[in-house]
Structure 1
């Protein structure tokens, strides 16, 4: 009777490790461990999403006549005790690729080995495991474009079937009383084995103020289906505009694994076939071999899946980048780090409307549109001259979809310290970014209600207006806290000094 240890894969369908465990025996014991070390890095929004997803997962097992065993504590102590309680010879899990996760898994594997229990690790959270896509010289890629070209041409695995009741341990064998003796004295925790999910408060968190989207596989599939019915065919054009419903908003589901990547990719391939039909209807079957606009849009969305795997591979081979710059400079970057300016950025009170709209969306929804993430990250690092790590920490505290690899890659890209990052001299102008990607100021008005009475030109012109002109508009919205032009020059000088160059040249 093997155990399958759920972590960032809160689903029964298209789960590589669970499917492998089900192939090995008549009854798999599904388990989840509330690990204090993991919860220490949690947030109200993510824990809420996780509990929603666990509730649905537990119910799916119960519908199959089994159950999800819920435990608390150090997995290196909990899992050997659970294995003893159900007489398991093997514990399966899906790989996680951060340095902390790998250290934890090494400890768990050593503890289980010491107890005479086998372990099997499976690659489930990526379509192509780290290290399988390399340069011709055999090195991991540090440039996305070349990684993407090989990634897109690799054959993708098919989704895995969910185990049925015959492949799962019977619920009667997983009753709390039957296992309680196995945990006695194993670790010093009250109520170590739970039949029911704890509340968010029992885990040390609070109900989030943000309107967090629903967790679970059903919600993930609803989003995927809706996206692949229409928005995916205009993704190339619409994804950059935060006022439009152009993104999939699957990122929390991919982060928690409530839907499998193989299932997502299969849906995009079905969308690609539909896109080809749409493009042919416009240009005719005798058109050239180039992808049409609908096909390009689907391909662009697939490239976003590849970006996630690229950053996962970068983190896997460079675990230190969670706190260290990926790119070396000759001298440390002299970040300015003004606490008042950081506080204004977090509160959405910078006086730059597109920046403030993004930060308020983060507060209200625990999520932010990707284009706006780039804008607010550039503003923090290049206008406020704050160390990217402060922005990363704030996003980790607020985002429901926080993913170590993806967020670290994004922040270091914006700060020009990461792999394949934007050049240090590329500095977003937040005013022109707002004009370009929110031309009618719809997004800004949604999240900055103080500006709803102004027209788009007045909103986008807020920064350039004089103090008297802003006062005349009579709105309760702050003046800009910095001058973008001045800060741009300071940022350029800061990076030049770090590069060992003369800042005056």
Structure 2
């Protein structure tokens, strides 16, 4: 009698190497059935949906080269998985753990029901260096300061080590009359309808494990320049790995391993540590995307100004560095980290608009959006969260522009109407009399700064 299959349930781990669940499923000795479930309850934002579509196709291609396939279904994960188990007679289900509150709870429920039905359910840590609940203070509470968190985390070895790609997996086939039926690639329904955004995403990225490993190898070859170049958006100074980490084309264990061998800059690993910290905070504060973690900011007199919000979203604030960043985001689904900080500070402090508006916009626009880093970074910029930048620290977008884009190369790329200005004038075109077709600043820096500080002081008094 043919041995019952093992189901490998892929979710946000689109890779074959260094994949603990896939490795364990192959080593189980059972033929492996690889599945993915399009669950609308967990539908990401527009840019991330495009990436997900490409990630599914890339993983299917990788499995196909080994003689397998990724079978895609649509519906409630709990219902679909149960039907597939019954139809195939699967004896085990393998997956890598999720840590967002809804996903964590769903996985616990699904695992318990499988075990109740006599099905082995095995889950593995794979998305983070350390599971969120595992790094705690001496008194057992979550850390609230990143530096202390990272000292503890850095000194502690990860749960798992780097795993090779299984060499010769044996795959199970899906029954021809399987109910539920698989979803054809043309029916995934993930790709955004806006043709201009689609073209920008396609020209900017190649999702998949192969591209992630190639990008990381390129980064390591130039790692010595990382700290010197990382803050300059016109330079190829960052890894651009964030969406690949987000979708699990590459694991943070690979970064850790490279750092341990001295190939990866410690500063770069620390940036990965900030991502770890975000997940630790989310595990303790599951409503971080909607609630000020510092409750005194609940009384902040945020402005409701749809016109200013639209100008910020569309990259027409009149501040070139901010506009360049917002246009880069719209076109590529990504923004350089230095410019993210300047753009976020501008929304919250220059425009005095609630950080949650920015968080929602980035959720929809970012290819690398995840439910931990995005809200924590917005609360950091707004001064409303754990270990956040002080509210009174207000970034001057002109000074930031002159410091980190001194020759205006980044601005010229994304705000071409300013390309004819000199390196000096491009950062503040209004000082040179303005440029036809480019807006004047929607707010004055000094006045906006004073307004923000006054609001904060009234809040604090």
Give the TM-score category using the shorter length: over 0.9
2:182 aligned with 1:193, yes or no?
Answer: yes
Q: Measure the CA separation in 2 of the matches of 1:223 and 1:199.
A: 30
With 153-162 and 417-426 compared, the bigger mean Cα shift is at: 153-162
2:290 aligned with 1:323, yes or no?
Answer: yes
Instruction: Determine helix, strand or coil for the equivalent of 1:162.
Output: coil
Q: Measure the CA separation in 2 of the matches of 1:313 and 1:331.
A: 23
Q: Measure the CA separation in 1 of the matches of 2:136 and 2:282.
A: 15
Instruction: Determine helix, strand or coil for the equivalent of 2:8.
Output: strand
Output aligned runs, 1:168-183, within 5 Å.
Answer: 168-170=170-172, 173-175=173-175, 177=176, 179-180=177-178, 182-183=179-180
Residue 470 of structure 1 corresponds to which residue in structure 2? 433
Instruction: Determine helix, strand or coil for the equivalent of 2:34.
Output: strand
Q: Is the 8 A contact 1:13 1:260 kept in 2?
A: no
Instruction: Determine helix, strand or coil for the equivalent of 1:121.
Output: strand
Call closer, same or farther: CA 1:489–1:309 in 2, change over 3 Å: same
Paired positions, count: 451
2:12 aligned with 1:8, yes or no?
Answer: yes
Q: Is the 8 A contact 1:434 1:460 kept in 2?
A: yes
Q: TM-score, normalised by structure 1?
A: 0.85
Q: Which residue of 206, 231, 234 corresponds with 2:225? A: 234
Call closer, same or farther: CA 1:358–1:55 in 2, change over 3 Å: same
Call closer, same or farther: CA 1:263–1:331 in 2, change over 3 Å: closer
Q: Measure the CA separation in 2 of the matches of 1:331 and 1:400.
A: 30
Q: Is the 8 A contact 1:80 1:115 kept in 2?
A: no
Alpha-carbon displacement from aligned partner over 1:28-67 (angstroms, at most 9, x marks no partner): 221100111122x331x32222222222211222222222
Q: Measure the CA separation in 1 of the matches of 2:287 and 2:28.
A: 37
Q: Measure the CA separation in 2 of the matches of 1:115 and 1:132.
A: 30
Q: Is the 8 A contact 2:21 2:95 kept in 1?
A: yes
Q: Is the 8 A contact 2:255 2:269 kept in 1?
A: no
Call closer, same or farther: CA 1:331–1:256 in 2, change over 3 Å: closer
Q: Measure the CA separation in 2 of the matches of 1:199 and 1:371.
A: 38
Residue 24 of structure 1 corresponds to which residue in structure 2? 28
Q: Is the 8 A contact 2:54 2:207 kept in 1?
A: yes
Any unmatched runs of 5+ in structure 1?
A: 184-191, 274-296
Q: Measure the CA separation in 1 of the matches of 2:297 and 2:251.
A: 42
Residue 266 of structure 1 corresponds to which residue in structure 2? 257
Q: Which residue of 139, 164, 180 corresponds with 1:161? A: 164
Asked which structure has the greater CA Rg, the reply is 1
2:76 aligned with 1:88, yes or no?
Answer: no
Alpha-carbon displacement from aligned partner over 1:193-217 (angstroms, at most 9, x marks no partner): 23x43355x3474352423411001
Q: Measure the CA separation in 2 of the matches of 1:198 and 1:258.
A: 22
* Runs of 4+ residues deviating >6 angstroms: none
Residue 281 of structure 1 corresponds to which residue in structure 2? none
Alpha-carbon displacement from aligned partner over 1:144-184 (angstroms, at most 9, x marks no partner): 0111112222224421122333x4323xx325x1x52x43x
Output aligned runs, 1:227-306, within 5 Å.
Answer: 227-230=219-222, 232-270=223-261, 272=262, 298-306=265-273
Residue 360 of structure 1 corresponds to which residue in structure 2? 327
Q: Is the 8 A contact 1:331 1:498 kept in 2?
A: no
Q: Measure the CA separation in 2 of the matches of 1:355 and 1:420.
A: 24
Residue 384 of structure 2 corresponds to which residue in structure 1? 417
